[in-house]
């Protein structure tokens, strides 16, 4: 799916988008070692000079993600898994190389782009159910 400048404006601040669109893109290989240790230049102006914002990896993380729990102890999404993934990204220096994208709730259109309407409606109504009703549906 092709991305447009407007897509980036929705995800990133106006300043980030402007600085990204002013970068002249070339297909030439850039030897970052000529500028020093690559780990020291990550996040510096040197990096943004050569890699436009729309070609970088985005990372969405919020501590609230660790609050997602399931009554099923075998469910793959649980707080320890989410925290372990983020810690590994930080320990390996990968989180620092990503463009941080603030977490936010998905819009109805975003949900409907990947889920059926009846599923979205069902999920949006679950907060009205009691714990025993939720367990019966699980």
d(CA 85, CA 83) in angstroms, rounded, equals: 5
Alpha carbon 111 to its chain's center: 15
| Per-residue pLDDT tens digits for 75-123 | 787 888 889 999 999 999 899 888 888 888 889 999 999 999 999 999 9
- Here the tokens at position 41 are 């230049």
| Per-residue pLDDT tens digits for 21-56 | 444 444 444 444 454 554 454 455 555 666 666 677
Task: Give, for 100, the enclosing helix (H) or strand (E).
Answer: strand 99-101
Q: Does the pLDDT at position 11 exceed 50?
A: no
């Amino acid at each position: 799916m092709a991305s447009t400048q407007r897509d980036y404006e929705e995800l990133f601040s106006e300043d980030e988008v402007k600085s990204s669109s002013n970068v002249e893109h070339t297909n030439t290989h850039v030897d970052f070692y000529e500028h020093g240790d690559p780990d020291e230049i990550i996040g510096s102006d040197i990096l943004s000079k050569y890699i436009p914002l729309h070609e970088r990896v985005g990372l969405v993380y919020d501590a609230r993600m660790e609050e997602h729990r399931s009554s099923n102890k075998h469910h793959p999404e649980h707080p320890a898994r989410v925290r372990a993934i983020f810690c590994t990204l930080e320990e390996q220096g990968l989180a620092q190389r990503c463009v941080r994208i603030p977490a936010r709730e998905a819009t109805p259109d975003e949900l409907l782009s990947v889920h059926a309407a009846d599923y979205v409606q069902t999920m949006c109504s679950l907060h009205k159910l009691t714990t025993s009703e939720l367990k019966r549906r699980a």
